[in-house]
Chain A
Amino acid sequence: MSLLEIENLQITFGGLDALSNLDFAIEEGEIVSVIGPNGAGKTTFFNAISGMIPPTSGEIIFDGESVLGLDPNQITEMGIARTFQNVRLFPNMTVLENVMVSQHCRTSQLVVGALFQTKAFKKEEKEIRERAEEILSFFGTRLVGYRLDQPAFALSYANRRRLEIARAMATQPRLLLLDEPVAGMNPIETAELTALIGRLRDEWGFTIVIIEHDMKVVRDVSDRVVVLDHGVPIAQGSYDDVSTNPDVIEAYLGRPVEAKR
């Protein structure tokens, strides 16, 4: 059985079909890229999975259970985490706090524990902190040391993107949805992050869906590529298959000149 199965997903905004007839499945341990021109419905696709936009019709099944009608926090608790295309960190919280707060759904201490400083509370706080530091050290030296206590708004653009991934990792997901993780990064940073995405699967065991415009990244990381255009999947398969598919080329570049003849 697939980890995530989507059947006949449709999302309509007014009269516009943002997504229609979308079938999608991903196996445990796969890395799948979703590509397509601007406005193709890629981010809407993520919003539907993470529960931010309720689908008009269709079915989304994660690990054998439907996620339709659940609140975003419940979906996160089931094991789906995401990042945002337009980085949405908690800007005035520190780097460490950003990662600590994201472990909320995996921890349980409430008011009483905090007030009486129970053993369980202290132990949990310690674990939260240690796990946050462990996750942040995944990005090498970029987010550790003095940066731990810096507010997120003080980070560079690339570091904000890294912190977004760290925050998603902290929710301990099984499925990780990365929305344009390398947008705005320079080639060296892009190469570095591409390698990290592979390690996310191999070392941390995440299944990954990634939206990306940088074709080099798509080629390097993905087992499979899905192409969306106007809310409809027009092709899927390996990178080489998709990149030579005439429909895909047409969606990106328009109809060849010879058609006018």
Chain B
Amino acid sequence: MMSTSLPSRKLFDQDWKRVSFWGSICALSQVFICLVGLPAELNRRILIESTLSLGYLFIIWVPLVFGYVVSKMVELEGVENPKPGAAELLSGAITGLLGGLGLVVLMLGIDNFDLRDPLLNWNPKLLRLLTFENSIGFGSMIWLLVGVGLGVFGASLHQMTTRIRKMVAYAIFGLFTLAVLEDVIDDLSEGLRLEWLSDMIYAKRGGITVTSTIVIAVVLAALPLLTRGKVKEAVSRYRSSDNPAEQQRNSIVLFALVAVVFLVLPWFLGGIINELLANVGLFLLLALGLNIVVGLAGLLDLGYVAFFAVGGYTTAVFTSPNSPWFSPETHFGISLLVVVVMATLAGLLIGAPVIRMRGDYLAIVTLGFGEIIRLLFLSDWLKPYLGGSQGITNIPGIDLGPWEVRGADPRSVFYMVLAFCVLAIYVSWRLQGSRIGRAWMAIREDESVAEVMGINTVNSKLMAFVVGAVLASFSGAVLAAKVGSVFPKSFEILVSIIILVVVIVGGMGSITGVMVGSLVLIGILGGPRQPGLLQEFQNYKLLIYGALLVFMMLKRPEGLVPTARRTRELHQEEYLQDAWLGDDDSEQQEEAGERL
């Protein structure tokens, strides 16, 4: 509970240093975002009809967030804190104002100087965008007002009661999600013969219509009032059930629900969304494999794409009639067996020399090996066998009797990938709780001690490497059958890095986390070569990945959906404090969770 017995601060009793610091950061961020070209590029994507595009959203979130940050008070427990009041609102306003000033300076700069040489986006297009096709004076007025308004709004979030804040958050995030998921919902409502629904929500030329924006915002805001925490109660009851039989029943029900959703959903989705889901699945499969290597065994493998490539090329050689040297044209099932063997061999070959290294050294060496494998596929030396930069084309789909899995039918690919992902999840889940899983954990904690405690570290680490390699090669095999061709270009180092980001952002070692990570990153932002839901992001994917990674490392290093173990590891002090306070104040913990 906040102790707020002191009166609030006087209006001009500000921490000027702090306010000007966050204000300048706010201004710099906005200018930076404008100059990298995000607003101009993303302006095509309309979120709310004739009001807001994704491009503008990228500018206006800044004063909102920084207004919120600057007015956040440090609450000391057991000490009387001043009540938040007008002074906090003012600091938010100043921050927003400074941000707006940044944009004004930018506009004047663009108008008077020409810096187009180093700064590509220093151009009239950006100026027109910022001035709303009007005069600079008009644009400046708008941006200053918007800055102040959003800054105050951000600051006022602290002073709302929890319930109102919840309503606001529901409305904002709900609208945002609806706008981002427009394609999916369009697609889904078409499949379900509910076109009228999407016609009602979305405007013809994209974006939510103004009327439905207001209606939806009201409905969403009313949601927490209607449910009154009943959902949360149900979830916590579901989680904290002590009865093992009940627990088991709950998980079976949950599993069945998820399974039904995944089995039925693709029939109501169109080609593009199914394609997207198939891509998410391919990367999920890779991420699950890497999760075993990095999350469980703690081996930072930066050359993971090598195994992906081995799976793809093996399938290509064994099934394609166009394979230049050896072309048995076997069935996918048989080639899959060969893939397992080849991936195991590759895992052992790459693993054996590097496995004795630790930490950073291992990362660098695997990075090198990943590139070596790609360059081998590209080399003139192996060109007569593997086709060099032309790769191997004409890989047939997967013939499964009545069905055929091929790239032109993304639904079938999705089911195929789903089957492999289920397999990967099962493998990760079972290994986690086994003797070998515990050995991996011990190696991750302290390798020398693990060895003294009788664990053969070399063998255990190799095993992690091989299990990860096999899962990655499955992904490669399905990719080859889906795309119909493999090229060295598809196996760039960027793939390794993006998978690693998926694992880290999702939550290392956590299966659910990795699933959420790939849905969010690959599904929405897109994979290394695959567009996501927001196709407009294509050019800025790496920028956003990087920003997201930095933000996560600072604010939530354990990932989006972490395991209990990892949370405990990264928040030892909090854990010790909680343990010390005892379990009887779980209410307080719940409250803390709510505030997060």
Q: Do A and B come from one complex?
A: yes
Residues of A within 8 A of B (CB-CB), count: 42
A109 to B450, CA, bound (A): 18
Contact of A124 among B435, B442, B445, B463 (CB under 8 A): B435
Chain A residues whose C-beta falls within 8 Å of the C-beta of B576 in the assembled complex: 153-154
Cβ of B400 < 8 Å from any Cβ of A? no
Let me know if B434 and A125 touch, CB within 8 A.
yes
Cβ of B438 < 8 Å from any Cβ of A? yes
Q: What is the distance, in angstroms, from A51's C-beta to the closest C-beta of chain B? A: 8
Chain B residues whose C-beta falls within 8 Å of the C-beta of A93 in the assembled complex: 438, 441-442, 445
Q: What is the distance, in angstroms, from B431's C-beta to the closest C-beta of chain A? A: 6
Cβ of A150 < 8 Å from any Cβ of B? yes
A113 to B456, CA, bound (A): 18
Q: Which residues of chain B from 431 to 476 have a CB within 8 Å of any chain A CB?
A: 431, 433-439, 441-442, 445-446, 448-457, 463, 467
Q: Mark A135-150, 1 if CB is under 8 A from B, else 0.
A: 0000000000000001
Q: What is the distance, in angstroms, from B456's C-beta to the closest C-beta of chain A? A: 5
Which partner residue on chain B sits nearest A100 by CB separation?
B438
Let me know if B442 and A90 touch, CB within 8 A.
yes
Q: What is the distance, in angstroms, from B228's C-beta to the closest C-beta of chain A? A: 34
A153 to B569, CA, bound (A): 9
Let me know if B434 and A114 touch, CB within 8 A.
yes
Let me know if A114 and B442 touch, CB within 8 A.
no
Let me know if B568 and A151 touch, CB within 8 A.
yes
Which partner residue on chain B sits nearest A51 by CB separation?
B452
Chain A residues whose C-beta falls within 8 Å of the C-beta of B427 in the assembled complex: 115
Let me know if B436 and A114 touch, CB within 8 A.
yes
* Given contact pairs A88-B446, A111-B463, A128 touches B435 in the complex (Cβ within 8 A): yes
Let me know if A105 and B455 touch, CB within 8 A.
yes
Let me know if B445 and A76 touch, CB within 8 A.
no
A72 to B569, CA, bound (A): 27
Q: Which residues of chain A from 80 to 113 have a CB within 8 Å of any chain B CB?
A: 81-82, 84, 88-93, 97, 100-102, 104-107, 109-111, 113
Let me know if B569 and A92 touch, CB within 8 A.
yes
Contact of B435 among A77, A91, A114 (CB under 8 A): A114
A104 to B434, CA, bound (A): 11
Let me know if A171 and B445 touch, CB within 8 A.
no
Let me know if B445 and A114 touch, CB within 8 A.
no
Cβ of A243 < 8 Å from any Cβ of B? no
Let me know if A109 and B445 touch, CB within 8 A.
no
Cβ of B12 < 8 Å from any Cβ of A? no
Contact of A88 among B437, B449, B565 (CB under 8 A): B449
A82 to B451, CA, bound (A): 12
Chain A residues whose C-beta falls within 8 Å of the C-beta of B445 in the assembled complex: 90-93
Let me know if A73 and B446 touch, CB within 8 A.
no
Chain B residues whose C-beta falls within 8 Å of the C-beta of A121 in the assembled complex: 434
Chain A residues whose C-beta falls within 8 Å of the C-beta of B539 in the assembled complex: none
Q: What is the distance, in angstroms, from A45's C-beta to the closest C-beta of chain B? A: 15
Contact of B457 among A73, A82, A90, A128 (CB under 8 A): A73
Let me know if B431 and A114 touch, CB within 8 A.
yes
Let me know if B463 and A90 touch, CB within 8 A.
no
Cβ of A117 < 8 Å from any Cβ of B? yes
Let me know if A97 and B452 touch, CB within 8 A.
no
Q: Chain B: interface residue count, which band?
A: 20 to 34
Q: Mark B553-596, 1 if CB is under 8 A from A, else 0.
A: 00000000000010011001001100100000000000000000
Let me know if B451 and A73 touch, CB within 8 A.
yes
* Given contact pairs A117-B430, A167-B453, A97 touches B435 in the complex (Cβ within 8 A): no
Give how many A-B residue pairs fall within 8 Å (CB-CB): 109
Let me know if A111 and B565 touch, CB within 8 A.
no
Chain B residues whose C-beta falls within 8 Å of the C-beta of A84 in the assembled complex: 449
Let me know if B454 and A104 touch, CB within 8 A.
yes
Which partner residue on chain A sits nearest B564 by CB separation?
A151
Chain A residues whose C-beta falls within 8 Å of the C-beta of B442 in the assembled complex: 90, 93, 101, 104
Q: What is the distance, in angstroms, from A91's C-beta to the closest C-beta of chain B? A: 7
Cβ of A7 < 8 Å from any Cβ of B? no
A90 to B443, CA, bound (A): 9
* Given contact pairs A111-B463, A125-B434, A101 touches B439 in the complex (Cβ within 8 A): yes
Let me know if A76 and B430 touch, CB within 8 A.
no
Chain A residues whose C-beta falls within 8 Å of the C-beta of B433 in the assembled complex: 114
Which partner residue on chain B sits nearest A77 by CB separation?
B454
Cβ of A195 < 8 Å from any Cβ of B? no
Q: What is the distance, in angstroms, from B437's C-beta to the closest C-beta of chain A? A: 7
Let me know if B452 and A50 touch, CB within 8 A.
yes
Q: What is the distance, in angstroms, from A122's C-beta to the closest C-beta of chain B? A: 11
Let me know if A73 and B456 touch, CB within 8 A.
yes
Contact of B575 among A97, A104, A154 (CB under 8 A): A154
Let me know if A90 and B449 touch, CB within 8 A.
yes
Chain B residues whose C-beta falls within 8 Å of the C-beta of A128 in the assembled complex: 435
Let me know if B454 and A154 touch, CB within 8 A.
no
Cβ of A134 < 8 Å from any Cβ of B? no
Of B449, B453, B463, B576, most A-chain CB atoms within 10 Å: B453
Cβ of A52 < 8 Å from any Cβ of B? yes
A93 to B455, CA, bound (A): 16
Q: Which residues of chain A from 29 to 75 have a CB within 8 Å of any chain B CB?
A: 50-52, 71-73
Q: Mark B34-77, 1 if CB is under 8 A from A, else 0.
A: 00000000000000000000000000000000000000000000
Q: What is the distance, in angstroms, from A54's C-beta to the closest C-beta of chain B? A: 14
Contact of B453 among A91, A102, A113 (CB under 8 A): A102
Chain A residues whose C-beta falls within 8 Å of the C-beta of B438 in the assembled complex: 93, 97, 100-101, 104
Let me know if A109 and B435 touch, CB within 8 A.
yes
Which partner residue on chain A sits nearest B579 by CB separation?
A154
Let me know if A72 and B431 touch, CB within 8 A.
no
Q: What is the distance, in angstroms, from B358's C-beta to the closest C-beta of chain A? A: 15
A115 to B426, CA, bound (A): 8
Which partner residue on chain B sits nearest A88 by CB separation?
B449
Q: Which residues of chain B from 397 to 439 have a CB within 8 Å of any chain A CB?
A: 426-427, 430-431, 433-439
Q: What is the distance, in angstroms, from B117's C-beta to the closest C-beta of chain A? A: 53
A77 to B565, CA, bound (A): 29
The 3 closest A-B pairs by CB, nearest first: A105-B454, A114-B434, A76-B454
Complex A-B: 27 CB contacts under 8 Å: A52-B448, A71-B451, A71-B456, A72-B448, A73-B452, A73-B454, A73-B456, A76-B452, A76-B453, A90-B445, A90-B446, A90-B449, A92-B441, A93-B438, A93-B442, A100-B438, A102-B454, A104-B455, A105-B456, A114-B433, A114-B437, A115-B426, A117-B430, A121-B434, A151-B568, A153-B576, A154-B579
A contact residues vs B (CB 8 Å cutoff):
50-52, 71-73, 76-77, 81-82, 84, 88-93, 97, 100-102, 104-107, 109-111, 113-115, 117, 121, 124-125, 128, 150-151, 153-154, 167, 171
Known: A102-B453, A114-B437. 6 other contacts (CB 8 A): A52-B452, A73-B451, A73-B453, A93-B438, A107-B435, A117-B430
